[in-house]
Structure 1
Amino acid sequence: MSKQLIKDKLNKFGSLKEPFLFVLSYDLNKFYIEKLSSLPRDIKFQINENQDISNMTKKIDLQKLPISFLEYKKKFDILQEEIKNGNSYLLNLTAKTKIKTSYSLDEIYENTKSKFKLRFKNKNDNFVCFSPERFVQIKDNKISTFPMKGTIDATIKDAKKKILANKKEMAEHTMVVDLLRNDLGIIGSNVRVENFRYIDKINAGDKELLQVSSKISASLESNWHEKLGDILISILPAGSITGTPKKKTIEILEKVEDYERDFYTGVFGIFDGKNLDSCVMIRFIEEKESQLYYKSGGGITCDSEASLEYEELLDKVYLPF
C-alpha cells in the first residue's frame, strides 16, 4: 500500500514540476514527501555539496559499543552458507552500533562535512545522515547512478593500487555494477557504464578512506518527471546496499540482520522542478529512547574474510568533522 502512495505522490509532484524533498525508508514502509516551500524547521538538508577534507579534526568525541566479533561472525557464516548454496553472490551485511558522544544530532548535522546531508525529526523518527554516496541523478533526460563498493584506509602504502587490484573488491564492485545496469535497463534505454571503478577520498573523522565508485547511465523519455514514482520504486532498494540477486538477497538479509534498517539505507533527494538528485542514506545515526545508534555495513562475497569485514563495519562508524 505504501509503495502505491509513494508512487502516486511522486508522480503528482513531478507532473506539476513542483520542487520537493523525498525521504524513503529501506523497505518503503515509511516515507516523507513534501514541497520545499513547506518544509518544517526540524527537517534540513544539503545536496551535492563540495566536501572539504582539508581541515579534518584528528580527535573526535565518539565512543563505539559494537556487537561482538563472535556475534558478527555467526551472521557472516550464515551468509557464506547461502553463497555456497547458490542463493546469493553478494550480500550487504549491516548492523547497528551503540555510540556515545557529547554532540547532539543537530550539532553533528551542522559540523559534518559530506556531499549529502539530512537532519530529520518528527514524532516517530529522529536521525541524521551524512552520506558520500549518490543514488541517482536525473538531468537532461538522462539518469545516472553511482554505486560505491570498496573501501580502504588512505594511509596504507599504495592504498589506491591495492584496492583496485584486490580480487574480492573487484568481484564485489563488478556484481553491483552489473545489478545496477539491469536496474536502469528496467526504466531506461542505452544503458552504459561511463566510468568504471574510480576513486573518491572520504573524510572519516580521524582518518581518510579511499572509496571505489562507478558511474552508470541510461536515457529516459522526455516526460520522465511525470513518472518519477514509477522510476524510483522500480529500482529501490539500492543495489549497492542489498546485493545480487536482489530479491532473494533481501529475504536472506532480513532474517540474518535481525534488526530494522528503517530509514537507514533508504534514499533521500530533491526534485527542483527540472532535475532530480538523491543519495543512499549511509553514514547514519538515529536516536531511540535517548540512545544513539550508528548503522553501518559492507558487502560479503565468497572471498570475504570475517575479521576484515568486521573491521570495515567499525571503520564506517565515524564523524567527518
Structure 2
Amino acid sequence: MNVLGRSGTPFFFVISYDLEHNLLFEKEGAGHGRSAAFSLPLGEYGAWGNSPPLPEQIRFEPVPCPVDWYVSAFSSVRAHLLRGDSYLLNLCVATPVKTNLTLSHLFRFAQAPYRMFLGPDASAAGVHGRACSCFSPEPFVRVRGREIATFPMKGTADAATLEARRWLEEDEKENRESATIVDLMRNDLSMVASRVQVKRYRYISPVETRGGTILQCSSEIGGVLPENWPSRLGEIIMALLPAGSVTGAPKEATCRAIAEAEDMERGFYTGIFGFFNGRDLDSAVAIRFMEEDGANLVYKSGGGITVMSRMEDEYREAIAKVYVPFDL
C-alpha cells in the first residue's frame, strides 16, 4: 500500500478483522485469481452486467441463534465489563438465512454506498476463503486532499418514527456508547493526523430495508494528514485497525474479551475494504455482511454492549440488523 500510494497507482483493498488476510486489487488487473467486485463513491471494480435478475418473490428468512447461546455470550461479556476490562464491547453473532438470493444479488442490488463481493478462494484456509458479500452503510476513513475523517456508527432504532428518533437521541446507554467510540476514534486519528476534532456528534440518518426504514446514529471526527501521506498509506491504515466501532474500548483488552465470548471467526466481517484512486481514499467497515458456509448463507451482525445493556434488548438488536437494503 505504501509503494502504490507513493507512485499514485489506484488500487482496491480488503483487510480482515484479524489483520492477517489482506488483499490488493490494482485497478487494471487483480494480480491473482480470486474474483472480486467493489463499489465505493470514488470508484468501481468488476463487471456485473450479466448477473441474474432478482427473483420475483424474494425469500429471506433468518434463523436466529438460540437465546441460550446469546445468554452465555452476553454473560461472558458482562463479566469483563464489570471487571473493568472493557467499557464497551461489540458482540457479534452468525445467523443462517434461508433465501433464494445469491451473494451476487446482494452486491448488485443492495442500496448501500459501500459494496464488496469476494469469490471463494480454495487456497485460503477456513473462513477467509469463503465467498462473501458486504453492503455497508458505514465509512471507515475518508481522505480528500490532506483531510482525513472517520464516521463511527453507534446506535440503531428499528423504526423511523418520531418516538424512535427521540429514543435514539435521549437514551443514556446509546449516548454513552457513542461517547466512548468517538473518544476512541479521536485518539486513534491523533496517532496519524494533526488538528483532530469532532466535527459532527450523533447525527441520525435513515436506512431503507425490505422491512421498512430504520434509523442509525453516527459521528464525524476529522484531522489533517502530513503532506507525504500517500507514501505512508499502509502504515496509516494499519495503525487505525481494527476499527473501534466494531471492537470497543480499550481496544486491546476488548479484543481479547471478544475472542473469549464469540464462537465464530469473524474473517473479513468487521474488517475494512476501500479504494485509493491515486489521490484520495474511500474505505468502509465491513458490516451488513453475508458469506457462504458450505451450502448455506450466513449473515453476521452485532451490537455494542455496556454495563447498562439488557440482554433481551441486545439480542433483539442483533437480530434486527439481519436485513437486506433493497428498495423494491
1:206-232, CA deviations, whole angstroms, 9 ceiling, x for partnerless residues?
121100000001111011000001100
CA deviation after TM superposition for structure 1 residue 67, in Å: 1.1
Pairing 1:56-67 to 2, within 5 Å after superposition: 60-67=58-65
**What is the Cα-based RMSD across aligned positions, in Å?**
1.5
Are residues 60 and 306 of structure 1, via their aligned partners in 2, closer, same or farther at CA, if it must alter by over 3 Å?
farther
Amino acid at match of 2:21: K
Encode CA deviations 1:160-194: one digit per residue, 9 max, x unaligned: 11101000000001000000000001111111000
Q: What does residue 20 of structure 1 align with?
A: 11
Matched, 1:48 2:41: yes
Distance 1:211 1:138, change over 3 A: same
What is aligned with 2:53? none
> 2:250 is matched with which residue: 224, 245, 254?
245
* Match of residue 188 from structure 1: 193
1:111 aligns with 2:121: no
The residue that corresponds to 2:178 in the other structure is 173
| Map of 2:291 onto structure 1 | 286
Shift of 1:204: 2.4
- Distance, in Å, in 1 between the alignment partners of 2:258 and 2:309 is 16
Q: Deviations over 1:234-281 (max 9, x none)?
A: 010000000000000001101110210000000000000000000000
- Helix, strand or coil: the match of 2:255? helix
Counterpart of 2:94?
A: 96
Question: Match of 2:294, as an amino acid?
Answer: E
Q: Is the CA contact 1:60–1:319 (under 8 Å) kept in the aligned structure 2?
A: no
Give me the TM-score of the superposition, normalised by structure 2.
0.90
Deviates more, 1:158-167 or 1:178-187: 158-167
- Separation in structure 1 between the aligned mates of residue 188 and residue 202 of structure 2, nearest angstrom: 18
Which runs of 5 or more structure 1 residues have no equivalent in the other structure?
Answer: 1-9, 50-58
Which residue in the other structure is 1:274 paired with? 279
Q: Name the TM-score, length of structure 1 as normaliser.
A: 0.92
Task: Confirm or deny: 8 A CA contact 1:62 1:100 kept in the other structure.
Answer: yes
Give, in whole Å, the separation in 1 of the partners of 2:305 and 2:34: 39
Structure 2 unmatched ranges of 5 or more: 43-56, 122-128
- Deviation at residue 122 of structure 1 after TM alignment: 3.6
In 2, Cα distance between the equivalents of 1:48 and 1:166? 33
1-structure distance, mates of 2:25, 2:79: 43
Q: Could you tell me which residue of structure 1 aligns to residue 167 of structure 2? A: 162
Q: What's the counterpart of residue 261 of structure 1?
A: 266
- 3-state secondary structure, aligned to 2:140: strand
| Equivalence for 2:118 | 120
- For 2:98, give the aligned amino acid: K
